[in-house]
Amino acid sequence: MLLLWAIICSGIITYFCLTDSSNIPAVNIPNMDKIVHFCFHFGFTFSWILFFKKELKGKAPDDYKAYFISFIFSVFFGITIEILQSVLTTTRQADVADILANAIGALFGVFAAIVLKKQIDRI
């Protein structure tokens, strides 16, 4: 079930990051796109941590492997999406600031998982 949830989150992020941006309503909030990137990768990283913690339970010496794998996966996923935006779309372009927002969101996802470790372990 956790794998399905992580894949669905990844698919939603991929769709919204690669869809024609003219189909997305304009919101006049400064840096809103960076906030969205942060939130996407926070959720992406957190959902993959949940999955990997359950998959690696008993196979890894500690939970940090799940945190590390999820963070690296999120960063590379974000970089790949930025590259695909510049290659596959005409209304979007790659942005280093988006990659930074992605990485910060991923880092906060890891921190949230560490803070919520006891609750996550009960899942």
Rg (CA), the chain: 15
Mean pLDDT across the stretch 65-80?
95
Buried/exposed 90-113: b ≥16 CB within 10 Å, e otherwise: eebeeeeebbebbbebbbbbbebb
Sorting pLDDT into bands at 50, 70 and 90, what band is 59? Answer: low
**The pLDDT of residue 58 is above 80:** no
Cα separation values, 122 from 58, 77, 116, Å = 15, 28, 10
Query: What pLDDT sits at residue 85?
Result: 92
**The pLDDT of residue 80 is above 70:** yes
Name which residue leads in pLDDT, 38 or 123: 38
CA distance linking residue 13 with residue 39, whole number of Å: 10
**The pLDDT of residue 23 is above 70:** no
- pLDDT, tens digit, 9 for 90 and up, residues 82-122: 999 999 888 888 899 999 999 999 999 999 999 998 888 88
Mean pLDDT across the stretch 7-32?
85
CA distance linking residue 115 with residue 80, whole number of Å: 29
Mean pLDDT across the stretch 27-56?
90
